[in-house]
Amino acid sequence: MADFQTMRAAGSATRSALIDEGLKAHMNKVYATMSVGMVLTGAVAWAVGTNDAMMAAIYGTALKWVVIFAPLVMVFAFGAVINRISAAAAQLFFYVYASLMGLSLASIFAIYTGVSIAQTFLVTAIAFAGLSLYGYTTKRDLSGFGTFLMMGLIGIVVASIVNLFLASGALAFAISVIGVLIFAGLTAFDTQSIKNEYIQHAQMGDSEWLGKSAIMGALRLYLDFINMFMFLLQFLGNRE
């Protein structure tokens, strides 16, 4: 009996070590995929935003509405097809999405100075890294904040749409403040969720899910970063 208990304890320790090792590899893939997406977004945004002819062709016509709303449509499409496509197709889908997001963000180079964009990106990167590290290492359960954060997210989306017609400076300022706070919270929340979901599925041996989960995690953190950056840019950006 003692030998059996020892073997079972050793087996549990080995399994736990394998899950920890797999988790590190999983999180590295999440961050690496997200980073490639960020590079694609930045490159496309810079290339288009600094080209007057391309800006006129896109933002001087009705095509701008396609560019603005296409990323939102793709996010919903991604959620609908993720279970029916391969991991490689999901990764390609994410990279196409990140490139299209670059088109949507190209106008910031016509509105803000390049220096202020770079400074805001650096501030966002530092804040994101700290918040994501907190979400990964904290023992506190952040799941209780999920509903609150999602309600806040829906609220700022609705308020942003309304403000497209009102053009209220005070409302825009309030949206920016709340937006930074919400996406700061979501960064920590999503990081912990990605970690916990991996551990849960790894224990069940769900290899099919694990193949796509890194791309889904990268998309979640990518959106947190991009949105936090855009809200901070409204505070820190110097206009041309």
What average pLDDT does the segment 117-140 reach?
94
Element (H, E) at 176: helix 169-204
What does the H/E/C string look like for 103-172? HHHCCHHHHECHHHHHHHHHHHHHHHHHHHHHHHHCCCCCHHHHHHHHHHHHHHHHHHHHHHHHCCHHHH
* Distance set, CA 184 to CA 6, 15, 204, 208 (Å): 45, 33, 31, 31
**Better-scored residue on pLDDT, 89 or 209:** 89
pLDDT of residue 163: 81
Structure confidence at residue 16 as a pLDDT band (50, 70, 90): low
Contact 109, 43 (CB under 8 A): no
Structure confidence at residue 110 as a pLDDT band (50, 70, 90): confident
pTM (2 d.p.) = 0.87
pLDDT of residue 59: 84
**Better-scored residue on pLDDT, 17 or 234:** 234
Structure confidence at residue 121 as a pLDDT band (50, 70, 90): very high
